[in-house]
Structure 1
Amino acid sequence: MRKLLALALVTATLIATPVLAQDLKVTVQGRDSVVLTPAEIRALPRARATITVKGASVVYEGAVLHEALLKAGVVAGERLMGRYLNQIVVLRAADGFASILSIAETDPVYRANPVILADTVNGQPLDAREGPYRVVVDGDLRPSRSPRAVVSVEVRPGF
C-alpha cells in the first residue's frame, strides 16, 4: 500500500511539474529549416488565446505562431495569395499527434484571432503533460486543433 501511495505521489508531482523549454524546429518546404531556441521564442511578440476545456475557459499565453513562421521564411501578409495560399501548417506533437491549419489561419491579414505557441496557461508555465509548447487557436470552440507538447512545425503545399 505504501509503495502504491509513493508511486502515485511521484506521478502526480511529475505531471504538475513545469517542463523545461526546448528548441522548436520550424520548416518551410523549399527553404532551410530553422531551430528556434527558447530565448528566441520568448523574444517573439506574444498574445493570449482562450479556449474552453471541459466547460471552463482557459487562458494561454505565448509567442504568436505567425512570427515564428516568419523567422523560417514563410510568405505572408499581402503577398500570401495564389500558390502560397495553398499551403498548410502541420503541427507535430511528441506523442505523434498532428494537427493541420491552413496558412491563412495563422496570418493576421486573414484572421483576427491569433494562433499562439503557448508556454503558459492561466499565468503558470505549462506542465509536462502539455509543454513545453502548445499551439492554441484562439476562438476555437473545442481544443481539438490545439496539440500539446509540440516538437515541430512544418509549412508545405496542401495539395
Structure 2
Amino acid sequence: MNRSRSSRLVLALAIGVVATGAGRAAFGQAPTPAKDAKPTVALRVHGEVAKPLELSAADLAGLKRQTVTARAHDNRESRYEGVALHDVLQKAVLPAGKDLRGKAVSLYLIVEAADGYQALFALPELDPAYTDRTILLADRRDGQPLTAREGPYQIIVPGEKRHSRWVRQVVGLRIGKD
C-alpha cells in the first residue's frame, strides 16, 4: 500500500472513531450519550411503597439540600451535605406526618449498600413530625464529594454513638412491613 493511501486510511478511521463518539474520551471529550439512553440509576426506592422509584443523580440533585454536622467514624466532626432521607422517601409516596399512624407506624426502611450491607430504621425515626434529627443521604463531606469508599451516597445519622447505621455506598432503600 502506498504512503498516501495508508495516510488517508488512518485519517478516515480516526474521523470515524471521533464521529461515533468512541474516540471522544481520547480527545478530552465525554462520549455523546444515545438520544434514547436512560440516566444511570443512582438509587432504587422499592418495597411497600405506592410509587417505586429509580432515581438518577440528577433526580437526587433536584431535591432540597440540607447540611448536618456529625462526628464520623474517624472521630472527626464533619459537615455533611445531601438530602434528608425523609424527602427521598416522600417521592415514593409514603405516609408521613399526621398520616403516619396506626399500622403505618410499623413500616420500616432497610438501607441497602453496594456490598450487601444493610441497616434498619423505623419510619417514624425519619419523619420531622416525630423527631428533630435529620438523617441525611449525603454526597459531600466538608465541601468535597464523598470518597469512592464512602459514596457516592452515605447515610449520616447525627447523634448516634455507634456508626453501624452510617451506610456507605447506598444503592437502595427498601420499605417493609410485618
Q: Give TM-score, length-normalised by structure 2.
A: 0.73
Structure 1 pair 113/25, CA: closer, same or farther in 2 (3 Å)? same
Partner of 2:85: 65
**What amino acid does structure 1 have at the position aligned with 2:54?**
V
Per-residue deviation at 1:42?
1.0
Partners of 2:151 and 2:91 lie apart in 1 by 21
Structure 2: any 5+ residue segments left out of the alignment? 1-39
Secondary structure at 1:104's aligned position in 2?
helix
- Which residue identity is paired with 1:26? V
- Deviation beyond 3 Å, 4+ runs, structure 1: none
Whether the 8 Å contact between 1:22 and 1:132 is mirrored in structure 2 is: no
Identity of aligned residues (%): 35
Q: Deviations over 1:80-131 (max 9, x none)?
A: 0110010111000011110001101111001101011100011100111011
Tell whether 2:33 aligns with 1:46.
no
2:44 is the counterpart of 1:25: yes
Larger radius of gyration: 2
Shift of 1:32: 4.0
SS at match of 1:130: coil
Output the TM-score relative to the length of structure 1. Answer: 0.81
Match of 2:5 in 1: none
Count, aligned residues: 138
Gaps of 5+ in 1: 1-20
Aligned-pair CA distance for 1:36: 1.1
Of the three residues 125, 129, 148, the one matched with 1:105 is 125
Letter aligned with residue 89 of structure 1: L
Measure how far apart 1:31 and its partner are: 3.0
Shift of 1:138: 2.1
Counterpart selection for 1:135 from 155, 159, 169:
155
Cα distance in 1, alignment partners of residues 137 and 126 from structure 2: 11
Cα pair 2:49 2:92 within 8 Å, conserved: no
SS of equivalent to 2:103: helix
Is the 8 Å Cα contact of residues 34 and 72 (structure 1) preserved in structure 2?
A: yes
**Aligned-pair distance for 1:28?**
4.2
1:36 aligns with 2:47: no
Distance 1:50 1:142 in 2: 16
CA contact (8 A) 1:51 1:142 kept: no
Quickly say closer, same or farther: Cα 1:139–1:46, change in 2 above 3 A.
farther
Residue 146 of structure 1 pairs with residue 166 of structure 2: yes
For residue 65 of structure 1, what is the amino acid of its counterpart?
L
Taking a change above 3 Å as real, the CA distance of residues 55 and 23 of structure 1, as seen in their structure-2 partners, is closer
Corresponding letter in the other structure for 1:29: E
Compute the RMSD of aligned alpha carbons.
1.5
Cα contact 2:41–2:54 (8 A) shared by 1: no
Tell me which of the two structures has the higher relative contact order, counting C-alpha pairs closer than 8 angstroms and 6 or more residues apart. Answer: 1
Letter in 1 for 2:62: A
